C-alpha cells in the first residue's frame, strides 16, 4: 500500500508496527513473504545518490564544479523513493485531517507459538562475530525472530560486555540488500542442489588423481570445526593444497615469532599489570587489533589519577588513537622505527649500539625502573625484526609471564599468507589447477598487484573456479560458480577469540536467501552435501566434549556462547640469543616519499565497503567519511604546497594510482599513509566506486611499506569530513570544551578543570528552578545523568555505531555529509593542539547534554521538545514541525535534522533490522539523543511491576554498553550511591560550557596524563597553555 | 493660520511646497482618478506585469519543489539551521514598517506632507507583509502541520509553546497584517466612492461601488470616518514598534553569541524604518516620473524621506558599534569577542564589510541637500541601503550560527539555486502587486490631497480640531 | 445619476457581516466534530474478520478469562492475539466441523496464520504498555468497553491523545482494585453498591481512586504526562 505508507510516514514519523505483527507469523518470521517483498523492490532505487556517487563521472565532476551548491537535490532525485516522498507530501497537503486517520492494519498471530517467546519483549542469544579470523563474543538482541542489535558478551573475558564497530556493524552486513541471494553459474541463477550435482562429478574427478589439481583458498581461520573439516578434506584429497590469504594479514607477527622463538606463538598482553607501555607502531587500542576490546578495558582501568596510573609511550609512523592517548608520542617514519627499537635494545643492555636521543633515554630509564611491569608492543605492519626485538626486550626486562604471555596460535594453521598466495598464483600460472575453491576471500580485488591475480585466474584454465561469499564480488565475477554464503548471524559455526577460547556461533534467523555456511560447503566438497551446519558443529564437539552428559554440556555451551576452559594456557618459550640481523631498509630519498599501507579504520580490508554505517562513520583521526585520502604531514604539505583535497599520483614500481591527500596533524614528514579497502567495483550500491583502490599499487614483497614517486595533479577532490575545524584554539581564545592536565597538576589542584570556567549559582536562572528530588514532582526520584571519562575514551567509535544501530539512525550519503547534515546522535570530536607536527590530541564523545536548563526547549513553538519529570530532554518526533530553532539555540549542536527523507522506508531488509522500540523519524523532523529512553522506560515498567527501585547499572545506554573502556557511565544522579553520582562528585568532573548555566546532565571527567618528568617540559606545551587559558 | 501645513516645514524648505500650486479640487481628483479610469493600458505596464508574474511562477515552482522534497533543497545545515528564508522574512517585515509609520504616526503628528505618499506606503506595507508571511510557513520541515503554531483546540489537547519567540511572531505578524489591511482599506473608502462616481463603465462602477460600501460623503460619514481612522492610527502606532521588536526577540531571546543582545529591539525597529523608507523611495521615484506626479509627490517628499533614512541609518550604525563595544567590554577571551573577530576576519568578512559600506558609509552623503533632492541619486542610494539591510540580516543569522561555542561543529552556509529562486520570487510577487495597485486603485489619496489645497484649509482646520483634542486625551 | 445599488443591498450587506461570523463558527464546529467522528477514529466500528468471533459468547457465555487467550497482557506491552493453537484447544473437541470455523481448522492444518483486522490501533509513534496499566488497576473494559456484550468486536474508545490524557491527568477517576481488573461486571462504587478494598468499603470513586493511587504507588501526573511516557 505505497500511498498509505507514504501518507503515514510523511505525516507521522512512526515505526512500522506492522512489521512485528507480520513477523509473528510462522517460525521466526514469514521468510517467503519477506523474500517476495525483497524481490518486488527492485534494488537500484535505494540510496540512489550513493549509486550516483559510485558510478558516474558526472557526479565527481559536479562535485568539483558546483559543490556544495544545490548538491542536496542529488539525494534520490527521480527515483521511486523520490516519487513516493513526493506523493507523501502531496497527500499530506491534500487533507490535514486525513492524515490523522489510522490506516487499516492487520494482525497475523502465530499458528503455534514458541513457548519461550513473549511478543513485544526482545530475547538475547550468545554468539560471536569474526574479523580477520579472530572471533569476538557477542550477545544478539532479537525481536520476534529478527536480530536487531549486537552487544558484547559480558560473561566472556575477551569482551566483558563491550563490543566494537565491526561486531556492531556486522548486523547491517546481514541485512545488506546487495548480498548475493542465490548460487550462480556463469551469470545464471542456479539452485544449491544443482551446484551439488555439478560439484560431485568434478570432485569425483579429483578423487581419482588424489586432488592433484585441487586448490582451496580461504581467509585466516580460527574455527576448530572448519579447520578439522579442512584437514579431513585434505586427507580425502592428499595432493590438494590449502592456501590462505587476507590482505590485512599478520605475516610479520608470525615471522617475528619465528625469528625470535623459531616457532609460531600468539603474543598476549596483560595491560592491567603494565605500568609502562611502549607501542612500536602498534595501534592496540583500535578495534582491528585482535583483543583490542580487552586491551582497551585493561588500559583504561589504569587511567584513574587517584589510583596507580600507567604511562604510554607511542612511537608511530601513522597517527592513531593509541598515539592520541600517549603521554609521549614520537612521530617517526615507518622505516625508522626499527632503528629506534635497536637503539632501545642497546640502551637496555642487549648489545648493539644505541643512537642516543632525549626520548630514547627517557623511555629506557622508565623501563629499567619498571622492569617486569612494563611492556613493548610491536605493530602488525612493522618488520619481523621489530617484533623479534620487542620479544627480546620483553624477555630481557622479565615481562614475560607478567605483562606478556605466549600461547598457542589462535589461527588454526598460521602460514605466511603472502607466500601462500604466491604459491597459488604460481600453480595457476603453470596450469596445475583444475578445481579452485575460494572460500570467503576476494583475491581478485585485494591480492598484491604484482601477482596479477585476475589475469592469472582467467588464464589458468582451471576447469572449475568456485567463489563462496556474501557478495558476488570482483572474484565471483571471474569464477564460473558462485555460492551465496550465509552470514554468521544465519548459520552455525565457531571461532577462537584472541585468547584462544572458543565461541559458538549460533544462528539468530533462518538464512534470508538460503545461504550456506562454510561448513556445509566444505562438507559438500567431501560429498556430504546432506549434512547441516548444525550437525557438523555438534558432531565435532561431541568428539571434543569432556562431559559425560553431552546434551546438557552442549546446551550450556550454546547458551553461554563459548566453550569453557578452551582459552590457551601460557606457553614457555625462550627467545634465541642475540638480536636479529640488520636488514637494509629502503629509505626514501629526496625524489621519493615513503608510503605506508594501512587497513581502513572503518571498512577494514573492504569487506565493510557496502555497509552504510561504516562508510558514514567518521574515522577516528580525520573524521573522514566515504573516502580514503592519503595522509601527509603538515611539514611535508608546507614544503610541497599540497593542500587537503588536492589530487596526487602515486607511482610505485611502475604502477600508479591517483588519490586525494589529507593533511593529518602529527603525520611524519616525507611520508604518506594510504588506506586499503576502497575503490571497489562489485560490492553493492553503497560501496561501489567510493574512494580509491590502493591495492592497485601494493606489492607482495613490500605489503606495508615502500617508497613512491608522488606528483601533484592540477585537480582537487571533495572530501567529506564531519569535523571541519579540528582544534579548540579559535582565532581569539582556546575554548575549554575539553580539559586535561598532568598528574602533577592534578595532585596540586584536583579541580583544575572546574576552575577553567566559572559556573553560575544554581539559582541564577529565570527558569523555574525544578527540584528533581521532590517526590511531588518526580515520584520515583530518578534523575538520569551521564559522565564521560575523557581519560578513558580511546576514540574507537564503538558508541557511534551502537547508537546508530539502537536508534534507527539513517545514513545520508556523502553529498549530505559534505553540506553538514550527518545524523550521528553521539559524535566523537577529535581536537589537536600545539605543534601541528607533533600535537597533543584528545577525543571527546558528545551526546545530547540533557541540560536541565535546556535552551532548545523554550524556543520550540509547538512544544515538541520538553523536559520529563526525570530531567530528560524529551524529543517528541511526531509533534515536531521542523523550525530548526532548537538546533540553532543548542550550544552543543547535538541536534540532527531530517532535511530530506533520509530514512529508507521501502527496503524490506531494513524494516526487519530496525529497533521496534524507537520511532523512525521522517522528513522535516528534528532528532537527537534521548539517553536511550526506550531502555529507561522498559526498566522502569519492569521495576514498577516488581515493586522495587531500578538498580544502579540496570539501565545501560547503547553507547555505554558498547564502550570497551567504560568511559561512559549512566545512572541516577539523585542516588548518591550510584556509580554516576560518585563520578560526578570527583574533582575532575566538569560541565561543558558551564558558563551558560545550561546545567547539563552529561558531564565530563577531565583527562589526566601521567607524563615522564624527563620529557614533560618539552612536550604538552599545548596542553599546559590550554590549562592556563581557562 | 496655525494649521497651515507649510508651518510644519523647516525655514529653508519653504520654497518647495508639498503640493505644487495651480491645482484645484477638480484637477486633483481628475489627475489621480484618471490614472485608474481613463489612462489607456500601456505596453510598458503590460510587459512589466507579465515579467513580474513570470517571476512569481518561479516562486511557485520553488515552493512546490520545496514541499515535495523538503527544506534540504536549501543550503541550510547543522549548525546553520536558518538561511535565506528567515533572512528574507526579517527583511520584508522591516520594509513593511514604513507604511504604518507614515500613515499612522505621521497622521497623529499631523504631518500633512504624508498625505501624498501614505496610500502608496500602506499598499507597499501590505505587499511586503504578504511576502514576509510566506517564509515562516514554508521554512518549516513539515509545512502542512504549521497550523499547530496557532492555539486551536485539538484532539491532542495540547497547546503551542507560548514561551517561544516564533509563536510571538505568529501573533505579531498576523495582527500587524490585519490592522494594516483594515487601516489601508478604511483610508481607501472615500476615494473608492470618487472612482465609483467618475467611472463610466457600469461594471467598474459596480465593483468600486461595492468596495465603497455606500459612501456618500455625508458629514456623518466624514465624522465617523475621521474617528475610525484616528482610532486605527492609534492602534497601529504601537504595532510599528512592537512587530520588529518581537521579530528581534527571535534572536535576542536565544543564547547564541551575536544574537543574545539587548540592543536588538531598538536597532531592529530603526533598521526596519530605514529599509522601509528606502523602499518607498525606490517605488515613488519612478512612479512620479512615469505618471508625472511630480507636482503632488514633490522633491520635498524625497527630501524628508532622505532625512528619515539618514536619521534611522545613524541609529543602526549606533547598534553595530554598540555590539562591537559590548564584545570588547566582555573581554578578549569572551565568546562575544570571538564572534566579532569572526565577523571582521572570518570566512564571511566580505559580506560583513559590505554591510558597513551599504548601510553606514554610503548614506552619509545624504547630509548634502542637493543629493537629498536628486531623484536619481536617491534612487540609487535607496537601492544600496535595501541591499545593506538584507546583508544585515544575513550577517546576523548566518555569521552568528556558522561558528558558535563548540569548534568541532562549525560549518559554512552556501545558498542553493532554490534559495535564490525563492528570494527573487518574492521580489517578483511584490512588484506584481505594486503594478496592479497602480492601475486599479488611486495610488495617491485624492481627498487627502484635496486637504492640502488652500481652499480646503479652513474646512480642514474645522474638522481637525475635534480629533486633535481626542488625540491629546489619548496621550495624557 | 441613478443609484447602482438597490437600497435593499444595505440590509444584505449588514446581514453578510453576521453571516460571516455564523458560517465561520459553523465550519469550526464541524471540523471539531469531524475530527472525533467514527470516520476518523473507527470508534464503535466493526471490521471484516476471517472468523466472526464473538467475545460475548466466549466471555459472558462461557466465562473464559481474558488471559486464557491474551496471555502476555500482564507481562508485555502487547496483550497478544492467541495463536490458532489456542482456538483448537477447544475446537478440536467441540464444533469440530462447524462451517464457520473452517478458516481456523485450515490455518491449523496448513500452518498459515489467520489474518485479523486490527481494531484498537494506536499510531506507531505511541508506545503503549498493557502490563503496567493492568498492574496499576486499570480494568480491561475501562478502555475496551463492554467486550462481554460484543457479538462482534469493535474499538470502544477513540484512542485519541485527549482520551489518553483524560486518565493520565487524573487516574483516580478510573482505577479499580487489581483483583477486579479482569472483572467485566465491575461497577464503580456508588452509594447503593460500595466497593471494598483493603478491608474498607468505598462508596464513591474519588476516595477509592485516591486510596488506589496511594496503594499502587502511581506516579505523579507530572510523571505520567511527560512526553517520553508514551512517545520516543
Contact A884 B409 (CB under 8 A): no
- Into how many domains does chain C fold? 2
Q: Is residue B49 part of a domain?
A: yes
Least confidently predicted of A185-199, A421-435, A914-928, A1012-1026: A1012-1026
How close does chain C come to A790, measured CA to CA in Å? 29
Contact between residue A972 and residue A952 where contact means Cβ atoms under 8 Å apart: yes
What CA–CA distance (Å, rounded) separates B86 from B254? 15
Average pLDDT over every residue of A838-850: 93
C90 touches chain B (CB under 8 A): no
H helix runs in A851-998, sequence order? 855-859, 885-888, 908-913, 933-945, 958-962, 979-985
Q: Give B28's pLDDT tier (boundaries 50, 70, 90).
A: confident
pLDDT surpasses 70 at B314: yes
CATH code for the domain of A205 = 3.40.50.740
Q: Which residues of A touch C164 (CB under 8 A)?
A: none
Contact between residue A146 and residue A945 where contact means Cβ atoms under 8 Å apart: no
Contact between residue A9 and residue A922 where contact means Cβ atoms under 8 Å apart: yes
What does the block give as the cell for C182?
Answer: 479482569
Note the pLDDT of residue A354: 74
Least confidently predicted of A109-123, A353-367, B14-28: B14-28
CATH code for the domain of A377 = 3.40.228.10
A819: nearest CB among B77, B140, B164: B77
Least confidently predicted of A92-96, A159-163, A211-215, C96-100: A92-96
Contact B153 C1 (CB under 8 A): no
Give the three-class secondary structure for A377: strand
A727 touches chain B (CB under 8 A): yes
Q: Which residues of B touch A100 (CB under 8 A)?
A: 155
Average pLDDT, chain A: 85
Please tell me whether residues C178 and C137 are part of one structural domain: yes
Note the pLDDT of residue B295: 83
Which of C50, C80, C103, C131 has the most A C-beta neighbours within 10 Å, making it the best mutation to test the interface with A? C80
Residues pairing with A481 in the sheet = A185, A466
CA distances from A263 to A134, A224, A709, B393 (A): 20, 20, 38, 73
Note the pLDDT of residue A890: 95
Nearest to A675 by CA among A340, A286, A168: A286
C4: nearest CB among B155, B205, B213: B205
Residue B315 makes CB contacts below 8 A (sequence gap 6+) with: B266, B267, B270, B271, B274
C114: nearest CB among A13, A109, A944: A109
Average pLDDT over every residue of A66-74: 34
Domain that residue A15 falls in = 2-64
User: Left if phi > 0, otherwise alpha if psi is -120 to 50, otherwise beta: which for A510?
Assistant: beta
Contact A923 B140 (CB under 8 A): no
pLDDT surpasses 50 at B467: no
Note the pLDDT of residue A835: 86
Q: Which B positions 407-466 lie with beta carbon below 8 A of chain C?
A: none
Q: Which residues of C touch A26 (CB under 8 A)?
A: 111, 113
What CA–CA distance (Å, rounded) separates A540 from A558? 14
Contact C81 A937 (CB under 8 A): no
Q: Which of A690, A721, A752 is the last residue of a domain?
A: A721
Q: Give B14's pLDDT tier (boundaries 50, 70, 90).
A: low
pLDDT surpasses 80 at A81: no
Q: Which residue has the higher pLDDT, B191 or A85?
A: B191
Average pLDDT over every residue of C1-23: 85
Give the Cα-Cα-Cα angle A158, A164, A165 (nearest 5 degrees). 160
What CA–CA distance (Å, rounded) separates A270 from A248? 24
Dump pLDDT digits (tens) for C92-121.
898 888 888 999 999 999 988 899 999 998
Phi, psi of B2 (to 5 degrees): -65, -25
B163: nearest CB among A90, A725, A858: A858
What CA–CA distance (Å, rounded) separates B334 from A734? 10
Which of A10, A102, A123 has the most C C-beta neighbours within 10 Å, making it the best mutation to test the interface with C? A102
pLDDT surpasses 60 at A844: yes
Please tell me whether residues A392 and A419 are part of one structural domain: no
Average pLDDT over every residue of B16-29: 76
Which of C3, C4, C28 has the most B C-beta neighbours within 10 Å, making it the best mutation to test the interface with B? C4
Residues pairing with A496 in the sheet = A502
Please tell me whether residues C204 and C158 are part of one structural domain: yes
Note the pLDDT of residue B29: 84
Closest Cα in chain C to B216:
C3
CATH code for the domain of A623 = 2.40.40.20
Note the pLDDT of residue B294: 83
Nearest to A74 by CA among A899, A1022, A921: A899
Note the pLDDT of residue A100: 60
Average pLDDT over every residue of A269-296: 94
DSSP A645-656: TEEEEEEETTEE
Domain that residue B409 falls in = 25-473
Kindly list the partner chains of chain A, i.e. chains with 3 or more CB atom pairs below 8 Å. Answer: B, C
Please tell me whether residues A894 and A998 are part of one structural domain: yes
Average pLDDT over every residue of A634-652: 93
Q: Give A78's pLDDT tier (boundaries 50, 70, 90).
A: very low
Pairing relation of β-strands A1007-1009 and A740-742?
Answer: parallel
Contact between residue A663 and residue A645 where contact means Cβ atoms under 8 Å apart: no
Q: Which residue has the higher pLDDT, A497 or C5?
A: A497
Q: Is residue A1029 part of a domain?
A: no
B197 touches chain C (CB under 8 A): yes
Average pLDDT over every residue of B422-443: 92
Q: Which residues of B touch A858 (CB under 8 A)?
A: 161, 163-164, 253
What CA–CA distance (Å, rounded) separates B30 from A427? 106
Q: Which residue has the higher pLDDT, A69 or A959?
A: A959
Contact between residue A246 and residue A220 where contact means Cβ atoms under 8 Å apart: yes
Least confidently predicted of A918-932, B10-24, B228-242, B375-389: B10-24
What does the block give as the cell for A941?
Answer: 515498567
Please tell me whether residues A691 and A807 are part of one structural domain: no
Dump pLDDT digits (tens) for A365-388.
999 999 999 999 999 999 999 999
Q: Which residue has the higher pLDDT, A772 or B460?
A: A772
ipTM of the complex: 0.91
What CA–CA distance (Å, rounded) separates B153 from B148? 10
How close does chain A come to C116, measured CA to CA in Å? 5
Note the pLDDT of residue B382: 94
Kindly list the partner chains of chain C, i.e. chains with 3 or more CB atom pairs below 8 Å. Answer: A, B
Q: Which of A41, A64, A87 is the last residue of a domain?
A: A64
pLDDT surpasses 50 at A700: yes
pLDDT surpasses 90 at A139: yes
Dump pLDDT digits (tens) for C148-160.
999 999 999 999 9
- Into how many domains does chain A fold? 5
Average pLDDT, chain B: 87
Q: Is residue A246 part of a domain?
A: no
What does the block give as the cell for A131?
Answer: 574479523
Amino acid at each position: 500500500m505505497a500511498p498509505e505508507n507514504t501518507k503515514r510516514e510523511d505525516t507521522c514519523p512512526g515505526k512500522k508496527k506492522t512489521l512485528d505483527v507480520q513477523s509473528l507469523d510462522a517460525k521466526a518470521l514469514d521468510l517467503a513473504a519477506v523474500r517476495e517483498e525483497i524481490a518486488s523492490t527492485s534494488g537500484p532505487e535505494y540510496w540512489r545518490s550513493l549509486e550516483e556517487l559510485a558510478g558516474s563521472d558526472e557526479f565527481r565532476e559536479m562535485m568539483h564544479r558546483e559543490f556544495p551548491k544545490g548538491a542536496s537535490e542529488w539525494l534520490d532525485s527521480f527515483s521511486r523513493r523520490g516519487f513516493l516522498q513526493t506523493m507523501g507530501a502531496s497527500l499530506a497537503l491534500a487533507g490535514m485531517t486525513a492524515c490523522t486517520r489510522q490506516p487499516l492494519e492487520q494482525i497475523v498471530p502465530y499458528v503455534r507459538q514458541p513457548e519461550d517467546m513473549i511478543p513485544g519483549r526482545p530475547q538475547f542469544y550468545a554468539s560471536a562475530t569474526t574479523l580477520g579470523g579472530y572471533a569476538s563474543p557477542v550477545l544478539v538482541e532479537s525481536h520476534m525472530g529478527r536480530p536487531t542489535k549486537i552487544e558484547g558478551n559480558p560473561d566472556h573475558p575477551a569482551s566483558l560486555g563491550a563490543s566494537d564497530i565491526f561486531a556492531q556493524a556486522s548486523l547491517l552486513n546481514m541485512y545488506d540488500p546487495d548480498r548475493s541471494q542465490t548460487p550462480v553459474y556463469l551469470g545464471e541463477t542456479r539452485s544449491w542442489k544443482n551446484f551439488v550435482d555439478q560439484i560431485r562429478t568434478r570432485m569425483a574427478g579429483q578423487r581419482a588423481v588424489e586432488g592433484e589439481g585441487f586448490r582451496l583458498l580461504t581467509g585466516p581461520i580460527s574455527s576448530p570445526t572448519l579447520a578439522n573439516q579442512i584437514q579431513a578434506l585434505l586427507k580425502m584429497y592428499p595432493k590438494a593444497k590449502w592456501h590462505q590469504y587476507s590482505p590485512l594479514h599478520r605475516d610479520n607477527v608470525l615471522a617475528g615469532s619465528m625469528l625470535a622463538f623459531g616457532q609460531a606463538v600468539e603474543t598476549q598482553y596483560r595491560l592491567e599489570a603494565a605500568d609502562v607501555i611502549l607501542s612500536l607502531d602498534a595501534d592496540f587500542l583500535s578495534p582491528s587489533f585482535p583483543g583490542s576490546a580487552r586491551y582497551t578495558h585493561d588500559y583504561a582501568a589504569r587511567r584513574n589519577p587517584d589510583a596507580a596510573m600507567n604511562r604510554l609511550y607511542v612511537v608511530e609512523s601513522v597517527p592513531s588513537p593509541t598515539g592520541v592517548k600517549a603521554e609521549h608520542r614520537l612521530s617517526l617514519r615507518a622505516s625508522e622505527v626499527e632503528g629506534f627499537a635497536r637503539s632501545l635494545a642497546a640502551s637496555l643492555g642487549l648489545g648493539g649500539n644505541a643512537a642516543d636521543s632525549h626520548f630514547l633515554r627517557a623511555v629506557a630509564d622508565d623501563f629499567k625502573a619498571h622492569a617486569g611491569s612494563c611492556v613493548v608492543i610491536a605493530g602488525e605492519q612493522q618488520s619481523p625484526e621489530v617484533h623479534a626485538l620487542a620479544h627480546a626486550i620483553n624477555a630481557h626486562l622479565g615481562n614475560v609471564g607478567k605483562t606478556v604471555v605466549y600461547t598457542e596460535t589462535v589461527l588454526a594453521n598460521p602460514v605466511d599468507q603472502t607466500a601462500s598466495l604466491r604459491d597459488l598464483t604460481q600453480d595457476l600460472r603453470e596450469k596445475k589447477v583444475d578445481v579452485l575453491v575460494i572460500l570467503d576471500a576476494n583475491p581478485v580485488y585485494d591480492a598484491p598487484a604484482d601477482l596479477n591475480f585476475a589475469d592469472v585466474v582467467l588464464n589458468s584454465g582451471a576447469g572449475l573456479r568456485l567463489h563462496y561469499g556474501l557478495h558476488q564480488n570482483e572474484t565471483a565475477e571471474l569464477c564460473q560458480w558462485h555460492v551465496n554464503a550465509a552470514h554468521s548471524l544465519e548459520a552455525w559455526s565457531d571461532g577462537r577469540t584472541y585468547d584462544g577460547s572458543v565461541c559458538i556461533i549460533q544462528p539468530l534467523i533462518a538464512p534470508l536467501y538460503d545461504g550456506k555456511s562454510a561448513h556445509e560447503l566444505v562438507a559438500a566438497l567431501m560429498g556430504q552435501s546432506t549434512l547441516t551446519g548444525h550437525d557438523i558443529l555438534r558432531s565435532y564437539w561431541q568428539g571434543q566434549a569432556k562431559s559425560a552428559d553431552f546434551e546438557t554440556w552442549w546446551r550450556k555451551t550454546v547458551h553461554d556462547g563459548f566453550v569453557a576452559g578452551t582459552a590457551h594456557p601460557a606457553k614457555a618459550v625462550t627467545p634465541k640469543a642475540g638480536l636479529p640481523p640488520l636488514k637494509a631498509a629502503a629509505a626514501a630519498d629526496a625524489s621519493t616519499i615513503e608510503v605506508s599501507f594501512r587497513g581502513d579504520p572503518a571498512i577494514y580490508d573492504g569487506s565493510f565497503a557496502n555497509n552504510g554505517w561504516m562508510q558514514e562513520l567518521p574515522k577516528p583521526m580525520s573524521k573522514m567519511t566515504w573516502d580514503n585520502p592519503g595522509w601527509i604531514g603538515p611539514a611535508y604539505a608546507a614544503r610541497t604546497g599540497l593542500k587537503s583535497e588536492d589530487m596526487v599520483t602515486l607511482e610505485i614500481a611502475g604502477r600508479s594510482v591517483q588519490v586525494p591527500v589529507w593533511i593529518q596533524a602529527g603525520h611524519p614528514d616525507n611520508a604518506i599513509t594510504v588506506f586499503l579497502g576502497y575503490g571497489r567495483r562489485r560490492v553493492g550500491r553503497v560501496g561501489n566506486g567510493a574512494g580509491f583502490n590502493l591495492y592497485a599499487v601494493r606489492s607482495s614483497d613490500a605489503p606495508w611499506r615502500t617508497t613512491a614517486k608522488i606528483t601533484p595533479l592540477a585537480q582537487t577532490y571533495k572530501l567529506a569530513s564531519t569535523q571541519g575545524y579540528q582544534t579548540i584554539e579559535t582565532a581569539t581564545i582556546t575554548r575549554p570544551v575539553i580539559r586535561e592536565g598532568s598528574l602533577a597538576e592534578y595532585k596540586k589542584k584536583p579541580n583544575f578543570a572546574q576552575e577553567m570556567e566559572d559556573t553560575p549559582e544554581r539559582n541564577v536562572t529565570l527558569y523555574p528552578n525544578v527540584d528533581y528530588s521532590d517526590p511531588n514532582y518526580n515520584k520515583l526520584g530518578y534523575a538520569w545523568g551521564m559522565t564521560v571519562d575523557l581519560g578513558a575514551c580511546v576514540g574507537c567509535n564503538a558508541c557511534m555505531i551502537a547508537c546508530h544501530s539502537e536508534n534507527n539512525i539513517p545514513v545520508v550519503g556523502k553529498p549530505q555529509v559534505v553540506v553538514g547534515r550527518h545524523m550521528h546522535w553521539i559524535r566523537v570530536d577529535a581536537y589537536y593542539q600545539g605543534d601541528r607536527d607533533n600535537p597533543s590530541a584528545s577525543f571527546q564523545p558528545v551526546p545530547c547534554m540533557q541540560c536541565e536548563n535546556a535552551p532548545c526547549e523554550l524556543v520550540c513553538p509547538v512544544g515538541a521538545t520538553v523536559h520529563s519529570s526525570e530531567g530528560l530532554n524529551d524529543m517528541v518526533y511526531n509533534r515536531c514541525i521542523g523550525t530548526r530553532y532548537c538546533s540553532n539555540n543548542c550550544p552543543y549542536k547535538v541536534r540532527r535534522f531530517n532535511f530530506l527523507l533520509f530514512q529508507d522506508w521501502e527496503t524490506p531488509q531494513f524494516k526487519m533490522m530496525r529497533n521496534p522500540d524507537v520511532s523512525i523519524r521522517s522528513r522535516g523532523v528534528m532528532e537527537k539523543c534521548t539517553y536511550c529512553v526506550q531502555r529507561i522506560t522498559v526498566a522502569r515498567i519492569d521495576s514498577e511491576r516488581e515493586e522495587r527501585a531500578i538498580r544502579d547499572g540496570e539501565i545501560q545506554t547503547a553507547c555505554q554498553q558498547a564502550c570497551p573502556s567504560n568511559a561512559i557511565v549512566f545512572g541516577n544522579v539523585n542516588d548518591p550511591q550510584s556509580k554516576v553520582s560518585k563520578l560526578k562528585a570527583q574533582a575532575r568532573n566538569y560541565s561543558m560550557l558551564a558558563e551558560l548555566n545550561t546545567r547539563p546532565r552529561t558531564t565530563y571527567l577531565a583527562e589526566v596524563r601521567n607524563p615522564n618528568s624527563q620529557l614533560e617540559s618539552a612536550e604538552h606545551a599545548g596542553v599546559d597553555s590550554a590549562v592556563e587559558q581557562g | 493660520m496655525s494649521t497651515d501645513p507649510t508651518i510644519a516645514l523647516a525655514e529653508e524648505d519653504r520654497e518647495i511646497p508639498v503640493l505644487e500650486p495651480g491645482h484645484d479640487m477638480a484637477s486633483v481628483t481628475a489627475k489621480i482618478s484618471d490614472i485608474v479610469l481613463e489612462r489607456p493600458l500601456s505596453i510598458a505596464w503590460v510587459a512589466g506585469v507579465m515579467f513580474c508574474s513570470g517571476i512569481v511562477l518561479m516562486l511557485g515552482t520553488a515552493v512546490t519543489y520545496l514541499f515535495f522534497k523538503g527544506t534540504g533543497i536549501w543550503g541550510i545545515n547543522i549548525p546553520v539551521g536558518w538561511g535565506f528564508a528567515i533572512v528574507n522574512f526579517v527583511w520584508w517585515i522591516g520594509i513593511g514598517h514604513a507604511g504604518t509609520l507614515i500613515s499612522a504616526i505621521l497622521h497623529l503628528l499631523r504631518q500633512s506632507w504624508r498625505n501624498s505618499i501614505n496610500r502608496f506606503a500602506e499598499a507597499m506595507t501590505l505587499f511586503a507583509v504578504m511576502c514576509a508571511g510566506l517564509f515562516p510557513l514554508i521554512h518549516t520541515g513539515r509545512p502542512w502541520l504549521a497550523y499547530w503554531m496557532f492555539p486551536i483546540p485539538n484532539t491532542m489537547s495540547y497547546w503551542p509553546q507560548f514561551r517561544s519567540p516564533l509563536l510571538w511572531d505568529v501573533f505579531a505578524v498576523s495582527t500587524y497584517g490585519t490592522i494594516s489591511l483594515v487601516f489601508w482599506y478604511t483610508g481607501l473608502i472615500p476615494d473608492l466612492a470618487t472612482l465609483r462616481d467618475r467611472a463610466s463603465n457600469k461594471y467598474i462602477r459596480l465593483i468600486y461601488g461595492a468596495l465603497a460600501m455606500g459612501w456618500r460623503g455625508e458629514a456623518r460619514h466624514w465624522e465617523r470616518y475621521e474617528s475610525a481612522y484616528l482610532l486605527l492610527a492609534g492602534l497601529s502606532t504601537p504595532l510599528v514598534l512592537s512587530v520588529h521588536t518581537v521579530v528581534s526577540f527571535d534572536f535576542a531571546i536565544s543564547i547564541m553569541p551575536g544574537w543574545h543582545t539587548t540592543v536588538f529591539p531598538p536597532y531592529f525597529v530603526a533598521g526596519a524604518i530605514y529599509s522601509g523608507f528606502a523602499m518607498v523611495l525606490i517605488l515613488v521615484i519612478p512612479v512620479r516620473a512615469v505618471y508625472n506626479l511630480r507636482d503632488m509627490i514633490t522633491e520635498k517628499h524625497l527630501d524628508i524621506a532622505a532625512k528619515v533614512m539618514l536619521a534611522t541609518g545613524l541609529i543602526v550604525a549606533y547598534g553595530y558599534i554598540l555590539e562591537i563595544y559590548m564584545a570588547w567590554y566582555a573581554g578578549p577571551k569572551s565568546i562575544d569577542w570571538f564572534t566579532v573577530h569572526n565577523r571582521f576576519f572570518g570566512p564571511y568578512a566580505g559580506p560583513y564589510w559590505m554591510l558597513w559600506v551599504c548601510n553606514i558609509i554610503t548614506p552619509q552623503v545624504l547630509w548634502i541637500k542637493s543629493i537629498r533632492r536628486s531623484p536619481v541619486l536617491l534612487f540609487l542610494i535607496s537601492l544600496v541601503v535595501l541591499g545593506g539591510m538584507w546583508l544585515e540580516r544575513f550577517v546576523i543569522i548566518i555569521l552568528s550560527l556558522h561558528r558558535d561555542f563548540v569548534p568541532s561543529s562549525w560549518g559554512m552556509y552556501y545558498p542553493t539555486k532554490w534559495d535564490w529562486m525563492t528570494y527573487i520570487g518574492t521580489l517578483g510577487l511584490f512588484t506584481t502587486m505594486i503594478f496592479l495597485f497602480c492601475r486599479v486603485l488611486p495610488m495617491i489619496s485624492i481627498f487627502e490631497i484635496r486637504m492640502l489645497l488652500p481652499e480646503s484649509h479652513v474646512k480642514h482646520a474645522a474638522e481637525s480640531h475635534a480629533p486633535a483634542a481626542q488625540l491629546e486625551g489619548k496621550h495624557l | 445619476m441613478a443609484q447602482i445599488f438597490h437600497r435593499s443591498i444595505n440590509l444584505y450587506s449588514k446581514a453578510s457581516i453576521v453571516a460571516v461570523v455564523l458560517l465561520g463558527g459553523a465550519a469550526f464546529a464541524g471540523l471539531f466534530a469531524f475530527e472525533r467522528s467514527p470516520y476518523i477514529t473507527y470508534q464503535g466500528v466493526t471490521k471484516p474478520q476471517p472468523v466472526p468471533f464473538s467475545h460475548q459468547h466466549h466471555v459472558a457465555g462461557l466465562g473464559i478469562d481474558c488471559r486464557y487467550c491474551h496471555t502476555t497482557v500482564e507481562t508485555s506491552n502487547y496483550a497478544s492475539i492467541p495463536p490458532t493453537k489456542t482456538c483448537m484447544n477447544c475446537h478440536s473437541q467441540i464444533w469440530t466441523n462447524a462451517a464457520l470455523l473452517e478458516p481456523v481448522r485450515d490455518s491449523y492444518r496448513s500452518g498459515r496464520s489467520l489474518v485479523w483486522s486490527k481494531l484498537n490501533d494506536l499510531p506507531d509513534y505511541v508506545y503503549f504498555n498493557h502490563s503496567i496499566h493492568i498492574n496499576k488497576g486499570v480494568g480491561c473494559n475501562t478502555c475496551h468497553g463492554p467486550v462481554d456484550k460484543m457479538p462482534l468486536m469493535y474499538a470502544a474508545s477513540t484512542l485519541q491523545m485527549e482520551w489518553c490524557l483524560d486518565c493520565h491527568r487524573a487516574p483516580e477517576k478510573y482505577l479499580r482494585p487489581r483483583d477486579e481488573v479482569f472483572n467485566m461486571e465491575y461497577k464503580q462504587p456508588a452509594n447503593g453498591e460500595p466497593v471494598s478494598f483493603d478491608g474498607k468499603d468505598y462508596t464513591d470513586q474519588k476516595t477509592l481512586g485516591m486510596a488506589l493511587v496511594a496503594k499502587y504507588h502511581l506516579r505523579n501526573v507530572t510523571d505520567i504526562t511527560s512526553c517520553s511516557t508514551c512517545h520516543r
